[in-house]
Structure 1
Amino acid sequence: MNVTFTPNPIASLAIPNSPNIRNAHSVLSLYSHNDSQFETYVFEVQGEHHSHEHVEQYCGNVILYAFLAVSVTNLCSLTGISCIPLKKWRHFNYLLNFMVGLAVSALFTTALLVLIPEALRLEETPLEFGGQGQRFLIVLCCVPAGLLVFFVLEYFILVLQSISKVRKSSEVPDCDLELMNTTIDMSLFDSTVEVLPKKSRCGKCSLSKFIEVAPVAWMILLGDSVHNFMDGVAIATGFVKSSSIGLTLALCVLLEELPHELGDFAVLISTGLSIKCVLVINFLSACAAYLGMVVGLLIGEATSGGFYVFAAMAGVFLYISLADMLPSLRETLERVEKKNRCSFGLFVIQFAGLLVGCACVSGALVGGHLIEF
């Protein structure tokens, strides 16, 4: 039976992870509910036969891009040293809040627009075959929009609560005024101060200081190592899937690591460790990302292994952004309001960070499809 195939560029279906597909034929039957009839179509699947050299070149490019992306994100471990001069800057708190807002929106948006759709294969089936196409992106964009709206509403509720507390505190009863006007006889207190001799620093004191600080350093080292390992797995798996997914995940990890490393560096410095020791600890934890990259490349080569990685990393990103970093933004605003100071400027900085993070991930996702390599 001779069948004449007519090209239909509108109805095209991408088949991922199949670089060696050969020419094949497939039969598709469609059932109509209106007239209860079947319509049968014969499809011709065409694919370019890739040589062994082409496959090796493709694998080499994936490894190179994943290695470069992980190396760039690992440079954040050295940026913590910049917090020493920047901490004296009077606007350092605003910068840190902007970066935290940036990380929250980047993690949250990446989990929704990149990881979850890739894990569920939402964009692999076009609309002509009953799939979602790109329509799901418009629907999922409403989720971060709802987050931003409620972030604004929660801030205004916080401001209204602080205003009501100020008004109540201004209404002081007469009995309280009488207590405020009473004088205190300071002679009842002994003003003598006992001066203790300053202990000399010796080897035992420094050793005890190191033993005291060591658990904190080990906790940060182990926690960051696991975190960086998961980041390396996600970036490598993303590049195996496509260059746009890999670039988006690398950008998200980069935006999240900047405030994270600054915070870890500040904590380690406050414990009394030297700058050199802190840099070594951050570098050792960053090296775990390369091990994660190797694991991600191996998992990504499997047909279904990458989907489970994307789903797991979506949960990690959502937890870090919503349960760990977003509450810190609200706590910062609450501390400012408790001091009866204006927190509107800080709120604008945080909200700007949230908007910029969403824009960066969306731009990387759209631009990545335009510069596929």
Structure 2
Amino acid sequence: MDVLLLIVIFTAIGGLLSVLAAGVFLLLPEHYRESALPHGISFAIGALLAGAFCGLIPHAFEDVAASDIPVLSATLMAGILVFFVLEKLLVWRHCHAHACEMHGEDAHHSHNSAENSHQHGRRAAGTFIILGDGIHNFVDGILVGAAFLTDVHLGMVTSLAVAAHEIPQEVGDFAILLHSGYERRKALLYNVLASLTTVAGGVLAYFGLGDMQASLPYFLVLAASSFIYIAVADLIPSLHVKTDIKTSLQQIGFILAGVALIVSMQHLAHRYEAADHRAIGAIEK
């Protein structure tokens, strides 16, 4: 079968499989979803931070020259600041359109407007998670395409590994979108659309891998900056609403569960890739 067709098929299957598996969360009855949602937010924090610090950032810095490290670090910092400015503009625009406290309204109106701005900020977090996930999936598609160009079997293994480590991430994404006020159908639709960027990345890798290799680390750190900003600026503050010991321990436990699952999935993917490389090396000898 043609390599390009294989890239399209496996990137599409990998992206959609992870979204649909995570979408099972949407099938839960409403009262179960409401009780599970705070745990999903905690899990998402761990998954986002682990995906950024244990996956995206190390991979971005893995093969770059020492002279490029300061530029990559600056890109990571700039990405976080850009997401802050974008969210600030979205909140300010909403505030300006509704004449909030910055326009001298009374205290009661100011309180309501501040609450509206907070809710809009949560909505912005959903927008950023879709953007960050789209970038992440696009980079995954490039990696899968590169693997297929190296060896078809390696490409298949890599696409399955990507789907496997994306499942817990997608669960967290659904939790964030629901927390941000998205309806279940829209949450599923936007996650499916974000997953299809995997196909675009794979096709682009097929036609222009040489050109994309130089810019790949920058895509990785931009995706990482998005995940870091969402976890630290938008999600972690919501965990401080409840401060009792039981809730705090549950939050810590689910954060660690998100970290552990992402790290274990990445470790499993690396083992499969290493085994496949050894098999290919043995055949070549």
Deviation at 1:108? 2.4
Please, which runs of 5 or more residues in structure 1 have no aligned partner?
A: 1-55, 123-214, 270-274
Contact 1:97/1:349 (<8 A) preserved: yes
1 or 2, which has the higher strand percentage? 1
RMSD: 3.9
Deviations along 1:294-332, one digit per CA (max 9) or x if unpaired, are 354224442433324531232133213322214566535
SS at match of 1:335: coil
For 1:131-157, what per-residue CA distance to the aligned partner results, in whole angstroms no more than 9, with x for missing partners? Answer: xxxxxxxxxxxxxxxxxxxxxxxxxxx
Output the CA distance in 2 between the equivalents of 1:347 and 1:224. 22
C-alpha distance in 2 between matches for 1:291 and 1:314: 14
CA contact (8 A) 1:233 1:293 kept: yes
Q: Secondary structure at the match of 1:258?
A: helix
How far residue 283 of structure 1 moved from its aligned partner, in angstroms, is 1.2
TM-score, with length taken from structure 2: 0.58
Query: Does structure 1 residue 267 correspond to structure 2 residue 169?
Result: no
Post-superposition offset of 1:79:
3.8
| Amino acid in the other structure paired with 2:268 | G
Counterpart pick for 2:12 among 67, 82, 90: 67
Answer 1 or 2: higher relative contact order, Cα 8 Å, separation at least 6. Answer: 2
Q: In 2, are the aligned partners of 1:240 and 1:301 still within 8 Å (CA)?
A: no
> Counting helix residues as a fraction of each chain, which structure ranks higher?
2
State the distance in 1 between where 2:135 and 2:6 align.
21
2:169 to 243, 256, 262: 256
> Does the 8 Å contact 1:98/1:349 carry over to 2?
yes
Count of aligned pairs between the two proteins: 216
Partner of 1:324: 230
2:11/2:144 contact within 8 Å kept: yes
The alignment partner of 1:120 has SS state of: coil
Instruction: Tell me how far apart the structure 2 counterparts of residues 245 and 96 of structure 1 sit (CA, whole Å).
Output: 28
Q: Does 1:108 align with 2:21?
A: no
Letter in 1 for 2:189: F
Q: Is the 8 A contact 2:41 2:235 kept in 1?
A: no
Q: Taking structure 1 as reference, are residues 93 and 288 closer, same or farther at Cα in structure 2, changes over 3 Å only? A: closer
SS at match of 1:87: helix
1:84 aligns with 2:30: yes
Q: Does residue 142 of structure 2 align to residue 237 of structure 1?
A: yes
1:305 paired residue among 211, 216, 220: 211
Deviation at residue 281 of structure 1 after TM alignment: 6.1
Q: One-letter code of the match for 1:286?
A: V
Q: 1:225 to 1:310 in 2, by over 3 A?
A: same
**Structure 2 letter corresponding to 1:353:** G
Runs of 4+ in 1 over 6 A off after TM superposition: 215-222
Q: How far 1:81 sits from its partner (Å)?
A: 4.7
Counterpart residue number, 2:94: none
Is 1:58 aligned with 2:3?
yes
1:309 to 1:219, Cα distance in 2 relative to 1, 3 A: same
Q: What residue number does 1:360 align with? A: 265
Contact kept in structure 2, 1:237 and 1:299, CA below 8 Å:
yes
Of the two, which has the highest radius of gyration? Answer: 1
Q: Give the Cα separation in 2 of the matches to 1:321 and 1:222.
A: 12
For residues 70-149 of structure 1, the aligned pairs below 5 Å read 70-75=15-20, 76=22, 79-82=25-28, 84-89=30-35, 93-117=38-62, 120=64
Structure 2: stretches of 5+ with no match in the other structure: 67-119, 148-154, 281-285
Question: Alignment partner of 1:336: what SS?
Answer: coil
| TM-score using structure 1 length | 0.46
Determine the structure 2 residue equivalent to 1:194. none
Rounded Cα–Cα distance in structure 2 between residues aligned with 1:280 and 1:92? 17
Report if aligned partners of 2:18, 2:167 keep a CA contact under 8 Å in 1: yes
Query: Does residue 344 in structure 1 map to residue 257 in structure 2?
Result: no
Residue identity in the other structure for 2:251 = L
Q: Is the 8 A contact 2:49 2:259 kept in 1?
A: yes
- Offset, 1:265: 2.6
Q: From the superposition, tell whether residues 84 and 262 of structure 1 become closer, same or farther in structure 2 (CA, over 3 Å).
A: farther
For residues 226 and 346 of structure 1, the distance between their equivalents in structure 2, rounded to whole angstroms, comes to 26
